[in-house]
């Protein structure tokens, strides 16, 4: 189980929303994959795979372009936290 603060969850869900907008022009399978991650992130107890964590890191990269809305340091810190989780044995 992974614990996130409300701010972290908010950033992750914003990144997922952005990814869904991009995927809206893609295939149905990718959209389903993104929506599965989104559903899991909205739960109280979060269980996600390394593959999903790696995807979240990529999605968070979209927020780095939105410096007027998101603090770059906070996004990078969250990316680092997810990367550490992904690299656990």
pTM for the model stands at 0.88
What's the rounded mean pLDDT across residues 57-71?
94
Domain ranges for the chain: 6-86
Determine the pLDDT at residue 30.
84
Give CB contacts under 8 A, 24+ apart, made by 69-78: 69/14, 70/11, 70/14, 74/7, 74/11, 75/11, 78/8, 78/11, 78/12
Determine the pLDDT at residue 84.
94
**3-class secondary structure, 46:** strand
Please provide the average confidence, as pLDDT, over all residues in the chain: 91
Determine the pLDDT at residue 77.
97
Residue 6 CB neighbour total at 10 angstroms: 7
What's the rounded mean pLDDT across residues 46-74?
94
Answer yes or no: are the C-beta atoms of 75 and 56 closer than 8 Å. Answer: no
């Amino acid at each position: 189980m992974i614990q996130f603060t409300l701010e972290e969850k908010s950033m992750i869900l914003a990144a997922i929303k952005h990814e869904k907008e991009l995927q809206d022009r893609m295939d149905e399978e990718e959209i389903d994959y993104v929506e599965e991650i989104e559903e899991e992130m909205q739960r109280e107890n979060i269980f996600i795979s390394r593959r999903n964590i790696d995807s979240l890191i990529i999605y968070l990269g979209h927020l780095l372009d939105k410096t007027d809305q998101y603090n770059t340091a906070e996004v990078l810190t969250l990316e680092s936290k997810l990367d550490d989780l992904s690299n656990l044995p």
